[in-house]
Structure 1
Amino acid sequence: MVMRISSLQAFNNGVNGLQRNYASVTRTQEQISSGKRILTPADDPVASVRLLQLDQQEALLSQYKDNLTAAKNSLTQEETTLNSVVNVLQRIRELTVQAGGGALSGEDRKSIAKELGERENELLNLMNSRNAQGDYLFSGYLGKTQPFLRNPDGTYSYQGDEGQRSLQVANSTTVAINDNGQRLFENVTNANRTENFAGIDNAALPTPPLPATTIPARAAGTERVFMSPGLVQDSDVYRADFQAGEPYSLAFVSGTEFRIYDAAGTDVTAEATGGGQIDPLVSGGNVINFRGMRFQLDVVLQQGDNALDLDGLLADTATPGVPGINTHTFTLQSSPTDFALIRGGANTSTALLTAGTVSNQATFDAQFPVSGLLLRFTSASNYDVYAQPVGAGSTPVASGALAGAFPETISLYGADFTISSFAAAGDEFSVQAISPEQRSILNTISRLRQALESAPAGSAGNLLVRDEVSIALSNLDNGMGQVLEVQTEIGARLNLVESTANDNEDVTLVNKATQAELGELDYAEALSRLSFQTIVLEAAQQSYVKIAGLNLFNQLR
């Protein structure tokens, strides 16, 4: 069979062949210049998909690397700040121990109080530290809100929340990059959760004892017996036993013996250290451990007292105008929940919110927000209630209206407050519950400073300072322990950041090796192939020239 090929077909075949060879040479040259084996997905569809996945993983690892850097910077700054906090607290503790010296004068205490005030300000500034982005370190999620504010009465309030920001640093790993001030500095176990009241005449002691509200005031400087605020030694026993029988009455029955009665009038003296026996003349007072609490009882004799005849001091007439030992009775009970009530600085009315008390303990425990409430008046009588912290998008959790019978009670989630008059639209009042089981570090320091500044002269002042020093030392130790615990956690997080960074670097190296294996060019093979393709192209070009010159007219003579 004879096949006829036209001149046009021959030319087209030659040109197509040249183009294919030229395309092969060009593609190889592009591979060599780019260093990539795959220029388009069509070159290797399977490898192209895998390379796309590896590129996405590489981008994710790059973001994780940035997150790790940010986490390390944030945690390092927090750790540095907390180191400074601990150093300040240690100095405050030294000053507290110094303030407990019994030989100090009033001026000496005031000098210590001045340095305490400076350290208090330094601590406040540290607790309000910011990071490089301008966010507060210890305000939880509310990075733009200053966490700690000093109230007009010298106490402190926490304005942040209990959130903890975190960053993802690996596929299944996140790390916390801050700690909120509520946990660090506010929720510090308070050793001083009870209060005692000077009592009534022992001879008239009823069963059960009279409540504290019936106790008459004593004339200043006439006391012979002093009892310290209780310090919690065992929280579990305190909650289970002490709170179950309060209020208690402690009454002297002789110069060296007392009795303790619970709320039902039952004699529970046997549970106290020494079974109710004391030595009034012992140096440093008598320690009484009772139902998880530690009290200190001191007898200070008045001028003219006979130390050898303590029972002779029982009668009121022992020293004219000075109560005898047996007239000293103390009512012991847990401190009630207190409230920080802050009037908004932009308020235009003269209305005041005062007298916060818990009226329904069950409702209060179940519903009152831990972070507090904000009352915002929309008119002179109408108000909305918000759970703090309050932001631009916050919605009221309750509302109410004043009736106009002042002073008027406002009830909020089991707590009652008194308002003095109508308010004005836009007026705000902040309400924050202060549990006796916790006392912030700043409030502990502020309370000690104020005690040193205002303690009266004489035995009463010395004992007051001693008791406040004892409370402050316990609370400072609890506070430093809490800060050190968080520092330990920060160290663990920094270790996690470091190990995760190493793991991510290893994954990154494996990723790059796989990408190289799939996508990078073998230069030796490519150069050899380019040389071969160039020879083929040149041969095709020369063949095409020769073949293109062949035609029937060349055979004619």
Structure 2
Amino acid sequence: MRISSVTMYDQSTASINRQQSDFLKVSQQIASGRRVVNPSDDPQAASRAVGVDQSKAVTQQYADARVSARNSLSQTESILNSVSDAVTSAKTLLIQASSDTLSDVDRESIASELKGVYETMLGQANATDGNGRYLFGGYKDNAPPFVKSADGSVEYQGDSNIREQRVDASRLMPVNDNGETIFKSVPSGAGYIAESVKTNDQGERLVGGDASNDGTVTFTGPQVRDVNAEGYGENYRMVFGGDEDAGFTYDVQKFDEVVGEWDAATPVLSGTYSPSSEGQQIQFAGVSIKLEGKPAAGDEILVAKAGGDVRDADLFRTMEEAIRVLENPADTPVKKADLRNTLNTAMRDLDNSLDNVLTVRASAGARLNELDVVDAVGSNRMLNYEQTLSDLVDLDYAEAISEYSLRQVGMQAAQKAFVDIKGLSLFNYM
């Protein structure tokens, strides 16, 4: 068969180009450190690598979300620590103020210090994160959640929602708590609270002068005697009647949750009250309360579940009531009775508030621990993705260097062959 010069040149050129292409491909792999430089190098591996890359990106987004969640929870935990310290300080001051040896000036001084604690609590309740968002306002995080009204009381302006953040594919984690949960709630195990305050027929607290009792009756307790007693867990009030000449009477009325009013027509317990130096113990619905002093007709003592519909929890209101009685001189028996009753109620409220704050703080700590666990799982998942991606597209340098040397020899051989073939001509022998 006759082979033309054109055929020899074409075949030699094609061989050199092929060897150069293979040599260039290996050179690119070594330079990039990747076996799959272009999708055409291994379409199946390139396709799987795209999926693994997307999974890595999603995992990294969850890791970034956990950083943000950890910052919010750490801020919340730090603030709750300050709030618990403030509640403890307030309780210490109230115990000090309960001493009968203190003068009105001494109590006024304690009230001034208590005001500082109160303002500290209010400042912590309106704390913001690093982005200017209020931590405890729920979804309404663009304005202070706790605002002082015209009468000086603090009102909650936030909502009851809790901001959440997805920290993993299957975990939507609350990253903070709203103000109601922290400052206007009590633990689920909170018991009864007694308070010397008058209420209307619907169980709402009266305000101003109408809310104060006119007698000198004081209380100790209430104490839980039997949680299985009939009526335990309901809300009650003791309404006093009569006078010192005719004898004092009392009716224990239950709040009817269905009707939404006090059941004055059918008292749970009625009896006579005889003031004495030892006091009188009155027991009903599994609780007992000790009374001392002389009531006036129409005076009331509320005995209700803490944080219930009749007596909602409010840490700021507790502080305001304590400051009020400490600022006013206790220069009459009625004011002294109001001082004692208010401080007793406030100390129980502070105990419940402290338990509640510690519970919320424990919940924040548990979520921080959970983030550590999820972080560890996410790190392991990221390592698995990186290993899979490396197996798919990364280069085996030992194999690539051997291939590089082989392709280099092949290209040099093709070039030498072309030079030798180019010199084959009959004219060289004529």
TM-score by length of structure 2 reads: 0.82
In structure 2, distance between residues paired with 1:251 and 1:230:
24
Structure 1 residue 454 corresponds to structure 2 residue 331? no
| Cα distance in 1 between the residues matched to 2:233 and 2:77 | 38
Q: Equivalent residues in 2 for 1:61-460 (5 A)? A: 61-188=59-186, 191-192=193-194, 195-196=197-198, 226-227=217-218, 242=235, 250-251=241-242, 258=249, 260=251, 268-269=268-269, 278=274, 280-282=276-278, 285-291=279-285, 295-299=289-293, 328-330=296-298, 332=300, 436-460=310-334
Report the Cα distance in structure 2 between the residues aligned to 1:102 and 1:46, rounded to whole angstroms.
Answer: 87
Please give the alpha-carbon distance, in whole angstroms, between the structure 1 residues aligned to 2:12 and 2:269: 119
In the alignment, the residues of structure 2 paired with residue 264 and residue 176 of structure 1 have an alpha-carbon distance, to the nearest angstrom, of 44
Aligned-pair distance for 1:519? 1.4
Matched position secondary structure for 1:129: coil
Shift of 1:452: 1.3
Matched, 1:544 2:418: yes
Structure with the larger helix share: 2
What is the CA–CA distance in structure 2 between the aligned matches of 1:289 and 1:28, rounded to whole Å?
93
- Output the CA distance in 2 between the equivalents of 1:450 and 1:241: 29
Partner of 1:208: none
Q: Is this contact kept in 1: 2:195–2:342, CA < 8 A?
A: no
Secondary structure in 1 aligned to 2:217?
strand
Q: Is the 8 A contact 1:38 1:44 kept in 2?
A: yes
Once the two structures are aligned, what percentage of the paired residues are identical?
A: 29
Runs of 5+ consecutive residues of structure 1 not aligned to the other structure: 198-212, 301-324, 337-433
TM-fit CA distance, 1:237: 6.8
CA–CA separation in structure 2 for the residues paired with 1:138 and 1:25: 65
Secondary structure of the structure 1 residue equivalent to 2:193:
coil
Aligned CA distance change for structure 1 residues 267 and 51 (closer, same or farther; 3 Å): closer
- The residue number in structure 2 matching 1:24 is 22
AA paired with 1:281?
S
The structure-2 alpha-carbon separation of the partners of 1:227 and 1:196, relative to structure 1 and needing over 3 Å to count, comes to farther
Q: What amino acid maps onto 1:8 in structure 2?
A: V
Name structure 2 gaps, 5 residues minimum.
200-205, 254-262
C-alpha deviation, 1:10, in angstroms: 2.1
CA offset at residue 102 of structure 1?
2.2
Change (3 A) 1:468 1:514: same
SS class of match (1:191): strand
Of the structure 1 ranges 511-520 and 496-505, higher mean CA displacement relative to structure 2 is found in 511-520
CA contact (8 A) 1:253 1:259 kept: no
What amino acid does structure 2 have at the position aligned with 1:463?
A
- Residues 437 and 168 of structure 1: is their aligned pair in 2 closer, same or farther, counting only changes over 3 Å? same
1:437-461 alpha-carbon deviations (Å, 9 max, x no partner): 2132111101110121125413222
Partner amino acid for 1:174? L
Distance across 2 between alignment mates of 1:442 and 1:264:
31
**Residue 54 (str. 1) matches residue 48 (str. 2):** no
- For residues 254 and 73 of structure 1, the distance between their equivalents in structure 2, rounded to whole angstroms, comes to 67
Q: What do the CA deviations read for 1:126-158 (whole angstroms, capped 9, x no partner)? A: 111111112111111222211111122120011
> Amino acid of the residue matched to residue 331 of structure 2?
A
Change in CA separation of 1:264 and 1:135 when aligned onto 2, cut-off 3 Å: closer
Q: Name the SS of the counterpart of 1:149 in structure 2.
A: strand
The one-letter code of the counterpart of 1:28 is: V
The one-letter code of the counterpart of 1:51 is A
In 1: Cα distance, 2:7 partner to 2:175 partner: 74
Displacement of 1:229: 10
Would you say the 8 A contact 1:147–1:158 is kept in 2? yes
Does the CA contact (< 8 Å) of 1:35 and 1:520 recur in 2? yes
Q: 8 Å contact 1:25–1:530 — kept in the other structure?
A: yes
CA distance in 2 between counterparts of 1:440 and 1:460 reads: 25
* Structure-2 change in CA distance of 1:71 and 1:436 (3 Å): same
Report the counterpart of residue 516 of structure 1 in structure 2.
390
Q: Deviations over 1:81-121 (max 9, x none)?
A: 11111111100001111122223221121111111111111
2:177 partner SS: coil
Alignment match, 1:388: none
Residue 203 (structure 2) aligns with: none
- Give the whole-Å Cα distance in 2 for the aligned partners of 1:19 and 1:236: 99
Q: What whole-Å deviation, never above 9, does each CA across 1:208-241 have from its counterpart, x for those lacking one?
A: xxxxx9xxx9xx99x5x52559969679976875
Q: Deviations over 1:310-368 (max 9, x none)?
A: xxxxxxxxxxxxxxx8xx544658699xxxxxxxxxxxxxxxxxxxxxxxxxxxxxxxx
Higher-RCO chain (CA-CA 8 Å, sequence separation at least 6): 2
Matched residue SS, 2:131:
coil
- Aligned to 1:168, what secondary structure does the other structure show? strand
Measured at CA, do residues 106 and 249 of structure 1 come closer, stay the same or move farther in structure 2, by a change above 3 Å?
closer
2:12 to 11, 14, 25: 14
The RMSD of aligned alpha carbons is 3.4
Count of equivalent residues: 401
Distance 2:68 2:252 in 1: 60
The structural deviation recorded for 1:495 is 0.5
TM normalised by structure 1 equals: 0.65
Displacement of 1:554: 3.8
